[in-house]
Amino acid sequence: MTTGSKETFAKWQREHAAALADLQEAQRAYHRTVATTAFQGAAEEPSAEEMRRASLEALDAARAKLDEVRARRPVTTESTEAR
């Protein structure tokens, strides 16, 4: 692997790690929201459903970002040999 491709792969790895961490945090936030709103009364604002929906949308956005980063994975000699 050349120096340029090593740097490119290292940059991608950092992006991937950040996107994965964001997804994991969104998952934790979603689960906290579901657990917190499970017994919330209908009169409380914002509604439990709105909170769950917003949390799920954030989770989906984080998942899409991770998929986008993974799709840009640089091709390396090591990654082609593993296939």
pLDDT in tens, 15-60: 999 999 999 999 999 999 999 888 776 566 678 888 899 999 999 9
Distance between CA atoms of residues 26 and 47, nearest Å: 19
Joined tokens for residue 7: 């740097």
Distance between CA atoms of residues 1 and 68, nearest Å: 24
Q: Are 21 and 15 a contacting pair, CB within 8 Å?
A: no
Given a cut of 60, whether residue 62 has pLDDT beyond it is: yes
* Overall pTM surpassing 0.85 (yes/no): no
Given a cut of 60, whether residue 83 has pLDDT beyond it is: no
